[in-house]
Amino acid sequence: MADKSSEPSSLVRFINGILPENPVLRLVLGICPTLAVTASMEGAITMGLAATFVLFCSNFFVSLLKRFLQPHLRILVFTIIIATFVTIVDMFLKAFMYDMSRTLGPYIPLIIVNCIIIARAEACASKSRLLPSLADALGMGLGFTLALCILASVREILADGTWLNIPVMWEGFTTWTIMKLAPGAFLAFGLVVGANNFIRRKLEERKS
Amino acid sequence: MINFIKQSALVLVLAVVFGSGLALMYAGTNPLYLANQEKATLDSIAKTIPGADTAQNLQTSEVESIEEYRVYRVFDSPEDGKETLLGWAYVAKGKGFGGDIKLLVGLNAQADALVGIDVLEDVETPGFGNYINDEERWKSKFRPRDGKALSLDRNLVVIKTTPKKPYQIQAITGATISSKAVVAIINDTAGKVAAQIKQED
């Protein structure tokens, strides 16, 4: 986490979260939901947006309350805030997106222990002013959603031949059931992180 | 001391504020959640009981005297007032391969034969065990064949080869445990529930 002396501007914070410091592809945080819910695009988008909402609200309140946060109190306060908003998301999905809530099952309540959210509260929101904190939350949230979507695209297309439930492969395409299961999640995750690192290195080589 | 009180007050205020917020949210959304659950069960009943999908005015009522299971009386009550009993449906739960399986089991109007099943909840392996949700691969095996519903007189048996007897159910390839789990839930509960329904009538 880059900020040391001078605080980066809101825009830099926002962009940082999306690719340069992408929470999944670069910081390798929040891997449990990344592996668990990326079997389909619909699940990935819902999880990404839910986590973004929680991250935004948590950064908002942590940044507002940072003056009062004693070192020994902060984790307790983070937990109260995060748990509250995760429960709100869970109730919302159960009431308005019942089928999706059943598909994601325990992974919505498990956003509480998503490392990205507590990491941003600790590394950014508890030290930064409100606006940069919010920009950071949006950037990191979008970065998380983007990473989930890339992974889910690979897995859904190979496992079902569909993307967002729309058939995209040719007729007679043999579906790879393994991509729907845990091994497929690890395989796809490794390949996507590898591809991201490869592209980064090529870009850096070109720059120097 | 002052500092201690200040810190406690902060946590206390936060807990009260967020707690009340959650309580409000719960009060607002829980009725919708319960309605969603109810609707899912009713949709599943309509798919499971033969004739329910073509009924003019499908009605269900919970049999409240049976406490152990949620048993629904399923009937058609059209405008002209002549009520026909279509069958009975109940919710049963048991252990599957990945976790609990919750089934909706449909019985005929006489409560002596099985007419269909539906899976309400499961966490079976995608691509294998979760084919218990598949109509063609699995659920159709519990529907009446050649107009004859599966009698409850004898327990169903899971086999791996092509069935020769009506009470034999062929397992899903690669998902014998899930297949056996579903059949075990039916065997364990259908007889008991049917007996209680007959007592009621």
Q: Stretch A84-112: mean pLDDT, rounded?
A: 93
Minimum-distance CB partner of A180 among B25, B33, B127: B127
Residue B33's alpha-carbon distances to A50, A98, A102, A107, B69, in angstroms, are: 18, 8, 11, 18, 21
Identify the DSSP state of A112.
G
Examine the pLDDT at B55 and tell me if it is beyond 50.
yes
Backbone φ/ψ region at A172: left (φ over 0), alpha (ψ -120 to 50), beta: left
Burial class of B5 by CB neighbour count within 10 A (0 to 12, 13 to 18, 19+): exposed
If you measure CA to CA, which chain A residue comes closest to B9?
A: A68
> Residue A6: its pLDDT value, please?
61
Residue tagged 């869970």 (tokens): A90
Banded pLDDT at B173 (limits 50, 70, 90): very high
- Read off the pLDDT band of A3 (50, 70, 90): very low
Q: Least CA distance to B31: which residue of chain A?
A: A95
From chain B, pick out residues whose CB is under 8 angstroms from the CB of A68.
10
Is B33's CB within 8 Å of A39's CB?
Answer: no
Q: Is some CB atom of chain A closer than 8 A to the CB atom of B137?
A: no
Q: Is A92–B29 a contact, with Cβ atoms under 8 angstroms apart?
A: yes
The pLDDT of residue A21:
87
For the segment B1-26, the average pLDDT, to the nearest whole number, is 92
Amino acid A68: pLDDT: 86
Angle subtended by helix axes A71-96 and B2-48, to nearest 10: 20
Question: Are B14 and A94 an interchain contact pair (Cβ–Cβ within 8 Å)?
Answer: no
* Mean of pLDDT values over B51-76: 88
pLDDT on residue B168: 93
Q: Would you place residue A181 in the very low, low, confident or very high pLDDT band (cuts 50, 70, 90)?
A: confident
Q: Which of A61, A37, A60, A31 is nearest to A49 (CA)?
A: A37
Identify the helix (H) or strand (E) that includes residue A62: helix A41-65
Give me the residue spans of the domains in chain A: 10-207
Q: How far is A177 from chain B (nearest CA, A)?
A: 6
Mean pLDDT of chain A: 90
B8: nearest Cα among A57, A126, A72, A79: A72
Gap from A17 CA to chain B (nearest CA, Å): 28
